[in-house]
């Protein structure tokens, strides 16, 4: 899989795709949009990066305080998984959706796990790297918030809490005053957890609205205490016209209960969802019709996979891309009109880079996939316009940009590890708590 010739070619691409050192002066920057993720330093920060008209990132980074302190979950190595990824591991939340953007409303929502809050920001439409806080970060209604979602109008945001007090809670979005708790939306899952939570087994993953916003869905990597393994499910609540959630939720388990759904991404034109699953590859949850709260879950094995966790969709290639951090691979998957998945192609990234959260953005009519790679302090950009033809565009070295932006962890530069001889080096840091990936593209 990782042939020497491929890695040599990739290394050449990485060097050619690197950028000049970042500068603190970031005014009057033109570009097509911005990409966002969160990091602890040690307080929670939102990092924004310029997206150019050709899809490339950089050269600078902006950093804004998210209004909370950083905290990471406790990594426990699952049976049969590589221990190196779980000691402590670069993903602090075991989740997808820690940062969410609503394009229409021009807002960003993110979680503050250590403070049990969520924060709202306004995106500058002329320079989307500029974020302005709207109101103060508000209590999430639980402990250790891990994922958020925003409705299509940008008027409601919901959060998934993953600690000892876990469940969902929703907020009205006021463009001036900020977030306000919404009545009849706090619902509990009562999973057995701690604050901070342990995982990935036993942790909560992702929250999302259904396309018609009639349901609120959550993926749970539940812990089977009898086998110390996965017994994951999807929880679903009805959403009333006034935004209130049904009192009770319905749990949908895969046909093989020893699964741990990590993500929920809608399959366009259906009431079904792709859930990346670290136990097998992925699971398809099909609700059948828009009114059903119960889904059937069918597993699909990705051969030789180790830990598929994140999933995104490209409307240009009409395929899904699932991310395996253990192998640092992007898997391209196609669904036919009968919801049958097929593995189309695999795209190895830089070895040991630990590919994490990803997002697809349409820039000037082209689809680009942005993949966070914390173990090489980088983000790789792939062109995903055509099926089975994803191509490398850039690997952006974050370390100079983060250092110039003033993040404490990058104030000292030390090249270490397997990448010490390359231009894209792994820099020591107090923590490698990277999470989330979202984009905003100018209209």
Residue 425 lies inside a defined structural domain of this protein: no
Residue 104 lies inside a defined structural domain of this protein: yes
pLDDT tens per residue across span 33-65 = 999 999 987 778 999 999 999 999 999 999 999
Name the more confident of 2 and 78: 78
- Average confidence (pLDDT) over 90-109: 95
Does residue 383 have a pLDDT over 80? yes
pLDDT, averaged across the chain: 88
Name the more confident of 406 and 117: 117
Residue 19 lies inside a defined structural domain of this protein: no
Does residue 112 have a pLDDT over 90? yes
Residue 14 lies inside a defined structural domain of this protein: no
- Average confidence (pLDDT) over 101-127: 97
pLDDT tens per residue across span 155-178 = 999 999 999 999 999 999 999 999
CB 60 within 8 A of CB 419: no
Residue 142 lies inside a defined structural domain of this protein: yes
- Average confidence (pLDDT) over 80-102: 88
We report the CATH number of the domain holding residue 222 as: 2.130.10.10
Residue 232 lies inside a defined structural domain of this protein: yes
Number of folded domains that form the chain: 1
pLDDT tens per residue across span 225-259 = 665 566 899 999 999 999 999 999 999 999 987 89
Residue 131 lies inside a defined structural domain of this protein: yes
| Residue 313, domain extent | 33-408+433-441
Does residue 278 have a pLDDT over 60? yes
pLDDT of residue 30: 63
Residue 316 lies inside a defined structural domain of this protein: yes
pLDDT tens per residue across span 338-380 = 999 999 999 999 998 999 999 999 999 999 999 999 989 999 9
């Amino acid at each position: 899989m990782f042939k020497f010739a491929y890695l040599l070619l990739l290394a050449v691409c990485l060097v050619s795709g690197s950028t000049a050192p970042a500068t603190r002066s970031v005014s009057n920057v033109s570009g097509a949009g911005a990409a966002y993720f969160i990091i602890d330093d040690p307080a929670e920060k939102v990092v924004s990066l310029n997206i150019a008209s050709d899809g490339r990132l950089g050269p600078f980074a902006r950093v804004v305080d998210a209004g909370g302190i950083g905290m990471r979950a406790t990594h426990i190595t699952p049976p049969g998984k590589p221990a190196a990824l779980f000691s402590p591991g670069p993903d602090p939340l075991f989740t997808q959706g820690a940062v969410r953007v609503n394009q229409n409303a021009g807002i960003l929502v993110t979680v503050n796990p250590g403070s049990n809050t969520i924060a709202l920001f306004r995106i500058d439409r002329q320079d989307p790297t500029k974020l302005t806080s709207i109101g103060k970060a508000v209590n999430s209604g639980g402990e250790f918030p891990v994922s958020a979602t925003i409705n299509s109008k940008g008027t409601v945001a919901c959060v998934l809490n993953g600690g000892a007090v876990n469940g969902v809670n929703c907020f009205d979005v006021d463009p001036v005053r900020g977030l306000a708790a919404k009545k009849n939306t706090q619902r509990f899952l009562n999973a057995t957890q701690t604050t901070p939570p342990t995982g990935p087994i036993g942790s909560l993953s992702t929250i999302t609205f259904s396309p018609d916003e009639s349901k609120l869905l959550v993926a749970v990597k539940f812990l089977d205490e009898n086998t110390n393994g996965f017994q994951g499910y999807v929880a679903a609540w009805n959403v009333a016209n006034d935004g209130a959630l049904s009192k009770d939720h319905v749990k949908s388990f895969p046909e093989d209960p020893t699964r741990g759904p990590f993500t929920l991404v809608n399959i366009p034109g259906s009431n079904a969802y792709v859930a990346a699953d670290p136990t097998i590859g992925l699971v398809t949850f099909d609700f059948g019709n828009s009114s059903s709260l119960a889904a059937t879950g069918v597993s699909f094995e990705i051969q030789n996979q180790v830990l598929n966790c994140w999933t995104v969709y490209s409307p240009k290639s009409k395929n899904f891309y699932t991310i395996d951090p253990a192998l640092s691979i992007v898997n391209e998957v196609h669904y036919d009109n009968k919801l049958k998945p097929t593995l189309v192609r695999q795209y190895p990234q830089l070895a040991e880079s630990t590919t994490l959260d990803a997002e697809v953005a349409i820039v000037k009519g082209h689809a680009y996939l942005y993949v966070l790679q914390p173990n090489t302090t980088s983000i790789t950009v792939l062109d995903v316009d055509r099926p089975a033809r994803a191509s490398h565009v850039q690997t952006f070295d974050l370390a100079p940009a983060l250092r110039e932006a003033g993040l404490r962890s990058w104030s000292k530069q030390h090249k270490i590890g397997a990448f010490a001889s390359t231009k894209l080096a792994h820099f020591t840091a107090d923590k490698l708590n990277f999470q989330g990936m979202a984009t905003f593209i100018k209209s």
